Amino acid sequence: MTEKEKCEAGLLYNANYDQELINERIAVKDLCLEYNQLKNSDAENRSRLIRKILGKAREHVCIEPNFWCDYGYNIEVGESFYANHNLTILDCAKVTFGDNVFIGPNCSFYTAGHPLDAKQRNEGLEYAHPIIVGDNVWLGGNVVVLPGVSIGNNSVIGAGSVVTKDIPDNAVAVGNPCKVIKNIEEN
């Protein structure tokens, strides 16, 4: 089994010394650098390049520079996706965003994690678990979402939160660790 196949299966894998994974990261980081250097007025090339970086993107996608990811092909964004400056997505596993997702500045989504055992960590081993963000979700600035987390539809994550566990639909959640503080009721 290749390191990439181990990663896709959710097993411990080595991303540090596997040439296939290294080459894929180098290629997408070159594309991210190119994207980050485009003028905001160059909407046509920004749109073309972000679609080249991402695995799947619907019609209205806006990601402000700087944007960085590990592979790109594991990222799927829905319709009317907006991310403010300094978005980081470590997409070793799938990261899926629904429609009408709004992300504040300096937010990070980490599918990669490392073993607690120091020997395994020192060998370069890691794991990756997917992240899912539902429809109509708003994440405030400086939010961090950790491996394996799902955020439900219509939810709001307060600025500065570290999301370590799933958040249900229609919730307002804040803090470190992020916890639901109230439900959003329909008017």
Question: Which of these, 89, 99, 9, lies nearest to 58 by C-alpha position?
Answer: 99
Say if residue 187's pLDDT is above 70.
no
How many folded domains does the chain comprise?
A: 1
Q: What b-and-e string marks burial along 94-106, b requiring 16 or more CB atoms within 10 Å of the CB?
A: bbbbbbbbebbeb
Query: Cα 91 vs. chain centroid, distance in angstroms?
Result: 6
The string of pLDDT tens digits covering residues 150-179 is: 999 999 999 999 999 999 999 999 999 999
Is-catalytic flag, 114? yes
The string of pLDDT tens digits covering residues 110-145 is: 999 999 999 999 998 999 999 999 999 999 999 999
In terms of residue numbers, what domain contains 86? 3-183
**In CATH, what number is assigned to the domain containing residue 166?**
2.160.10.10
